[in-house]
Amino acid sequence: FSAGDEPDGSGKFIANILQNPKIKESMKQFLDNDGLVLGICNGFQALIKSGLLPYGDVDSVNSNSPTLFRNNINRHISRVVSTKIVSNNSPWMSSFIVGETHNIPVSHGEGKFVVTKEFAEELFNNGQVITQYCDEDGNVTMDKEYNLNGSTYAIEGIVSKCGKILGKMGHSERYEDGLLKNIAGNKMQDLFSNGVNYFKK
């Protein structure tokens, strides 16, 4: 939470670091060598602000690029939300079935995914939108009771075209057996085993 998590704080800070020529080159080599990148919450902000998402490189951000903005209610949100898998076009998503839902903790003040209609269509057509906010019945929705931050097209997570870079707002890492016992539904979204298994093949 750099700079007290002021607007764009962590995203701006990490994106700035990624602009360092040595780090930028290292990141390119890492991806060229089949590396995987995952950014959750502030990490997602950094990937978006740097251009690694949705473009796959650091130098592509422009005025039409998607961004993450303040939640519609203009304050921090900390709750469990339902998300729906709409694409498994990524090593991180390899064990998931399109249509399945997960109940995931969120905790952020700037998690509203903002994108133009044209760019959203491109992301959907490329299979880059991986998860969307949904209701208890698995219906994708803009209803503020479920899409808490007001994300455009209810988008919760996206990947790069190659699928090796993934960013999402929901904290998949915050669940393990014995937690959230009073929350119904599927709470285990094990992206991490998928990442490990990708390299074990």
Could you give phi then psi for residue 84, rounded to 5 degrees?
-115, 135
Q: Is 102 a catalytic residue?
A: no
- Say how far apart CA 57 and CA 36 lie, in whole Å: 13
- Say how far apart CA 68 and CA 169 lie, in whole Å: 10
Q: Which of 108, 110, 171, 176 is catalytic?
A: 171
Q: Which of 41, 102, 134, 156 is catalytic?
A: 41
Quick check: bond before 54 cis, omega within 30? Answer: yes
Please give the structure tokens belonging to residue 81: 């939300």
Q: DSSP per residue over 81-149, as a string?
A: EEEEE----SGGGTT--TT-EEEEEEEESS-EEE--HHHHHHHHHTT-EEEEEB-TTS-B---TTTSTT
- Written as one letter, the residue type at 201 is K
Q: Which of 76, 118, 173, 176 is catalytic?
A: 173
SS3 of 191, please? helix
Q: Is 41 a catalytic residue?
A: yes
Q: Is 173 a catalytic residue?
A: yes
Q: Give the residue numbers marked as catalytic.
A: 41, 171, 173
